Structures are given as C-alpha cells and as structure tokens.
A and B are shown apart, each in its own frame.
Chain A
Amino acid sequence: MDFSWIDDIATEGWHLWLIHRPTWLTALIIMGTGIILAVVVVLLAHNYFTGEQLSANNEVASYKFMFIAEIFAGLMAFFLVGAGTRYNDSQTYVQDEVAAWRALSQVVDEFPAERANAFRYALSRYADSVVRTEWPSMETGDESPISRQLFSEVLDRYFVLEPSDEHQQSLLLLGNQFAGMATMARTNRMNNNLNDATAALMWFTLSVMVLFSILFNAFFGSYDLFNQLVMGFLVAITMLSCVFLTYVLGNPWSGPNALSTAPFTALVR
C-alpha cells in the first residue's frame, strides 16, 4: 500500500496538501470526516445513556441548538461572502492587469521598433515568470521576488521611451494611465491575500463552531436511533458542504479550481 501521501502532508502541510487534491476528494475528506464524527458522537452517547434518558434533554437542547444554528449561520454567511469576494476580486485583478499590459503594448508599438521590442521582450519575461513562479508562490500569499524584479524591468523599459514629437508626448500621457492601471492591479492582486495569522484564526473559529455543532448532537435522544443517524448525516452534509465551498473559494491560487494562468500565458511571446 502506498503511504507516500503521509510524506506529502509532512512536506506541504495539511492545508496545501488538501487543496491540491482533486475537487471530489477534497469534498470527500472534509465532508466525510464531519459525517463520521457526527455518527460516532451519536452512537457513543447512546452507548452510555438510553434513548429515554437522552430524550429528556430534547426540549431544552433543541432551543440551545437553534441558538447555535443562528451563530453558525451568521459566521458561515460571513465566511462564504468573504471567500467568494476574494475569489472574484482576484480574478478581476488578473484580468485588469493583463488588459492594461495589452493596451500599453499597443501604445509602445508607436515608438521606434528597437525600444518597442525591448519592452515587449521584458513584458514577455515578466508574464512568463508570473505563470511559472508567482502563481505557486501566491498559494502561500507571497510575491515572487523574480516577478517583482521583472515587473520593475517592464516599467523601466516603458519609462525610457523618449517622445520625439508632440504626438508621442501625448501617447505617453495615455500610456502612463495604462501603466498605472497595471501597477494598481498587480498591487491589488498581491494585497488580496490574507496573512497567515488571520487565515489561521478564521479557520480555527470556523472549526470550533463546526466541532461544537456536531458534538451538540450527543445531547439529543431518540427511540429510533437510525432516524437520528440519518438526521445527523443530512445536517452534517449541509454544514460541511458550505465549509468545503468556503475552503475552495478562499484559495484562488491553489488546486484544481485555481484561477487560470491563461491571460498571462497569452502575453508570453
């Protein structure tokens, strides 16, 4: 049997290992763990107490469970909207940056071929480095030093352009706007990552809520154990599918659902 995945987890860490699995497997691991826990908790409780004893809790437990539901739903909505916004914003910044570079290239084409080619070559190298080095480094929220340097080189190639007449002078004014748009989009793309401590705290809070919501099932009792297990199973699916969705949306640079590098690849010549 192949246990190399244990080494992979040790090397990459839980988070990156999990997000790099196929979508169905990530869903299965997240939801499966919760479902197993939900079933085990109910079975354990019924092992130590009778259904009748536990049923006596139901009235009060149900109100308290509903209170937990309100808090959990509020938290879940916050996380879902936050993760969804982050995913969409990241996609916007990528598209904005590429569109600005494309427009700037057209401006630069109006200048002498030697300078224009130097700019295009620098842009191509930058785009290539974004695809090869920056995308992987953004998985951990970091900027690639190579891309940063190549980005500066592209701007340098643009700012050395010298207008020979009024026309070119006015072109540079337009080009400056596009260069500003590209810089702004890149900066936003970088700043759209959460730092490790914030992400860890958010996931810790959500995990605690999930855990307590599942453990709370131990207080309920029923004469029909099977019925109770089905309920626990269905509730766990609802709860953990939302957690799974948050997890995927919150990682726009990683795994099979990561944002496509195609817009930058198109800039590579």
Chain B
Amino acid sequence: MNPSVDLGLQSLPLLDVLLLSIATLPIWLGMLILVSSGVLLTLIGAFIVGRATQAPSPTMPLVDHTGHFLLGAKFVFMGEVFAALLGFVLVDGGIRYAMGRQQVQVESSAMRMFDAGVADLSDPQAVELRRDLRTYAASVVENEYLTMQVGRESPAARKNFEQVLNRYLHMETRSEQDRLVRLQTDQFLSKMLDGRQKRLQSVRPGLRTLIWTVLLSNSLVVIVFSWLFRVRSLAAHIAMSVAMTIALMVVMHFAILLYHPFTGDLAVSSRPYQTLPQI
C-alpha cells in the first residue's frame, strides 16, 4: 500500500469502515468473521428464548398447529420482503462491480489506442504526452486504486489526467496527416474521460450507508423472529436457526464484496493500466 495516500477513513461512517474492513480481508476470513458473528447472535438468542419458552414436559403441547401456521405465514412474508431487499442490494452491488470492471477495460483500451495514435503525430511534444499518459496510468494504479476503496477519486490521478488533456490541447496540428490522426485520438480521449467517470461512479458511496443500515437491521429482525418458533427439541431449534443464519451471512458477505469492486480478493485487476508499451 502506498503510505503517502490518505484514505480519510476517519471521515467515513462507522458502518462503511466496518464493511470495508470485511471486504479487505481474505475471502475465507471475512466470511468466517461474518458467519461467526451471526451464529453467535443466533445461538445466544435461540438459547435464551428457547429455554424461556420450552415446554416443561415432552408430553405437553408447545403450541397448537394453528399457532405455527400463523408464525410460519408471517415468517414467510418477512422472508419474501427480505429477499426483495437482498435482491435489490445484490443487483445494485452487481451493477457496481460489473461497471467497475467494464470501465477499467474501456478506459485502458482507449488509453492504448490514444497512445498509439499520438505516437504518429509530428509534434515533438508527442513523446512528453506519452510520458504523461504513463504517469497518469501509474497514479491510477498506485493512488486511485486505493482511494477508490473508500469511494473517492485520487487528486493526484485527476491532476495527471488534466495534465494529459492539457498537453494534448497544446500540441500543434502540422499536416493533413496530423489532422486525420487527431480526429481519431479525439475520440479515444473522450472515451478515456467517459471511462474514468464511470469507473469512479462505480465506487461512489451514494446511499450505501443507509441501504446497509436497512439491510443489517432487517437481518437482525429476521434472526430475532426465528426465535419466536417453539420446537420440542431445543437442539433442533438451534441447529435450524444456525443453518438459516449461515445461509444469510454467506449471501451478505458476497454482497459486501460486490459493493467494493476495487478491494480484497475479488478486486478488479489494475493490470490493464500497466500494459502500455515502453517508449
């Protein structure tokens, strides 16, 4: 990690820091921590509520079958609504992840084409421009890949991009050949700008904190609701609740990773920015 890059973690909401911390961990460890936390909560709750409401003798009915119909129906209702919410979070995260990966390809391809086009221009500044382009690519890899983890663009990368644009604008068109080449390189520069914007958009937080607050509080409600069931065997009750929680937490962990396309084991590779040929 580049120590000179200030990620400004102290200005992030606590929930965002927590999610980022999980995304940063190796997949197995992040999943283990998330699943363990959920299972621990389930165990404590199911044990306490289970003990308090368990039938005193095995022959005594716990709750009549119509009562479980009521509980079951409401649990299914809650499950459906929760599934809709979780589906939304997965779709939103999936779009972010796909957009991040796609735009890295778009921007880096446009850079390679721009670089190749600029090499054909007769202005001696072309070499400097190609160097600027490599400086920009390096700052994306070294700085922006880090700041994007906290949903921000890197001021250094932005400055370097503007330097590329600035130098390109200063270059002179000396011949008909130059004019034709510039028609192409203009297009590639626009694509670079567009790709950069969309790549940054894929990590902008938006209402991430609010969305995850609602999702996590709903997960808690679903887990708490499952405590209301009464089963004759406390062990079976706990086992069912734990299985449900594990399934829930595994999906939540996947959603956390999707929301952080440039972090952790699933991070989009920075390699496309490192493929510009040597000058």
Instruction: List chain A positions with a Cβ less than 8 A from chain B.
Output: 23, 55-56, 58-59, 61-63, 65-66, 68-70, 72-74, 76-77, 80-81, 84, 87-88, 91-92, 95-96, 99-100, 102-103, 106-107, 109-110, 166-167, 169-171, 173-174, 177-178, 181, 213, 220-224, 227-228, 230-232, 234-235, 237-239, 241-242, 244-245, 248-249, 257
Contacts and interface: CB of A to CB of B under 8 A. Distances in A.
Contact of B169 (A81, A110, A239): A110
Contacts of B27: none
B200 interface: yes
Given A181-B190, A244-B214, A88 B66 contact: no
Given A227-B228, A231-B71, A59 B66 contact: yes
B11 interface: no
B179 interface: yes
Nearest to A88: B206
B210 A248 contact: yes
Interface in B191-236: 193-194, 196-198, 200-201, 204, 206-207, 210-211, 214, 217-218, 221-222, 224-225, 228
Interface string B164-202: 011001111100001100110011011001101110110
Interface in B71-116: 71-74, 76-85, 87-88, 91-92, 95
Contacts of A77: 83-84, 87-88
Contact of B70 (A58, A103, A171, A173): A58
Contact of A220 (B70, B76, B190, B210): B70
A231 B84 contact: no
A106 B169 contact: yes
A84 B206 CA distance: 10
Given A99-B193, A181-B194, A237-B218, 5 more contacts: A59-B69, A73-B84, A91-B206, A166-B173, A177-B186
B78 A238 contact: yes
Interface residues of B, number: 61
B120 interface: no
Contact of B83 (A61, A73, A84, A91): A73
A107 B169 contact: yes
Nearest to B211: A245
B74 A170 contact: no
B162 interface: yes
Contacts of B73: 58, 61-63, 65-66, 69, 220
B26 interface: no
B228 A230 contact: yes
Contacts of B70: 55, 58, 61-62, 220-222, 228, 231
27 contacts: A58-B73, A61-B70, A62-B73, A68-B77, A69-B76, A69-B79, A72-B77, A73-B81, A73-B83, A80-B85, A80-B88, A95-B204, A96-B194, A99-B193, A109-B169, A110-B170, A166-B173, A166-B179, A169-B179, A170-B182, A170-B186, A173-B186, A174-B186, A234-B224, A237-B221, A238-B218, A242-B85
B6 interface: no
B155 interface: no
B56 interface: no
Contact of B210 (A68, A231, A257): A257
B64 A223 contact: yes
A234 B179 contact: no
Nearest to B67: A222
Given A80-B88, A242-B85, A213 B77 contact: yes
B77 A106 contact: no
Nearest to A97: B197
Contact of B81 (A65, A72, A92): A72
A44 to B, nearest CB: 17
Nearest to A100: B193
A249 B207 contact: yes
Contacts of B207: 87, 248-249, 257
Contact of B183 (A65, A91, A173, A178): A173
B81 A95 contact: no
